[in-house]
Amino acid sequence: MPNDVAGADPAAREITYAEAIREALATAMADDPRVILMGEDVGVYGGAFGVSGDLVHRFGVERVIDTPISELGIAGAAVGAAITGMRPVLEIQFSDFITLAMEQIVNQAAKIHFMFGGKANVPMVVRLPGGSGTGAAAQHSQSLEAWFAHVPGLKVVQPSTPHDAKGLLLSAIDDPNPVLIFEHKLLYKTRGIVPTEAFRVPIGKAAVRREGGDATIVATGVMVSRALAAAERLAAEGISTEVIDLRSLRPIDLETIAASVRKTSRLMVVYEGVKTMGIGAEISAMIAESDAFDYLDAPIVRLGAADVPLPYSPKLERAAVPQEEDIFRAAASLVRTGGA
């Protein structure tokens, strides 16, 4: 079971992932006039995926700002606003388009606090709808979170539930330096229990979504629900799988992962980004460099996307990205034969 569900809260109710994000934005904007939302079509249109909804009517066009179609310009404006005391939340319409703003995110936002000796902060949040599964082809379906987890000065989170979408966004807005939130497009309509009041999910802390003893599966984003579905099938075959929702890609909660590995002696990392040089490689290396390595009874398995631009064809797209069946087969092989 999740270790931070809100089910015990009498004020909790079931809402969608998108509604949870909008609720977090509304809460932050109502509590702090420095919080603004910026992006393409976030105003009257309500956002490309309907996330911002009616916020422009509630807070006005000076705080919910429809921007020109220039990711570099939007990011630069957000960096400038953050330095001068605002707390901008920037929505990049598709996460793929962040490539156009790399200069401002990687060379400016991530480094200003350090280059000014700690005398300046960049308290900005970048929301990034990403991932495959919508048939949007190679330029609108990528999972680029590992790129940014490579950059010192940035924090990178990837909520998999409506509860965490709200809690992590509020934590990100509180943070004095830049945080990137990768929101999977397939999750926007998923539903879950979320408290009505404001709450925070700590950045840098993973969640054990299911306990088990035969193997550990660390998953990110939409892969968490697929891993949990695979774990149910594995249980029917007598294989007990522990599923960890990474939630935070930078910083990574090595302590939780290592504790699980010491218990299960097997590890698989499942993520949607391309397998090569992905988050699975980093987690594998961290375990190899820790005392948990001595507990492994089999090589670590990485399950990521194929090294190809994502196809438009739905069948090819599914084949290129790990699905529930892939996770089930790989985990079963890891336990039974010691390999994928």
Active-site residue identified among 113, 140, 163, 184: 140
Query: What does the radius of gyration of the chain's CA atoms come to, in whole angstroms?
Result: 20
Query: Which residue's entry shows tokens 């006039």?
Result: 33
Give me the long-range contacts of 107-115 (CB less than 8 A, separation at least 24).
108/76, 108/79, 109/75, 109/78, 109/79, 109/82, 109/153, 109/154, 109/178, 110/151, 110/152, 110/153, 110/154, 110/178, 111/153, 112/79, 112/83, 113/153, 113/176, 113/177, 114/153
Q: Is 113 a catalytic residue?
A: no
Contact (CB, 8 A) for 270 and 219: yes
Q: Which of 26, 155, 48, 154 is nearest to 95 (CA)?
A: 48
Q: Which of 313, 28, 165 is nearest to 321 (CA)?
A: 313
Q: How far apart are CA 100 and CA 105, in angstroms?
A: 10
The residues with which 89 forms a beta bridge, in sequence order, are 37, 125
Active-site residue identified among 40, 71, 183, 242: 71
Burial 288-327 (b: 16+ CB within 10 A, else e): eebebeebbebebbbbbbeeeebbeeeeebeebbbebebb
Q: Is 71 a catalytic residue?
A: yes
Active site residues: 71, 140
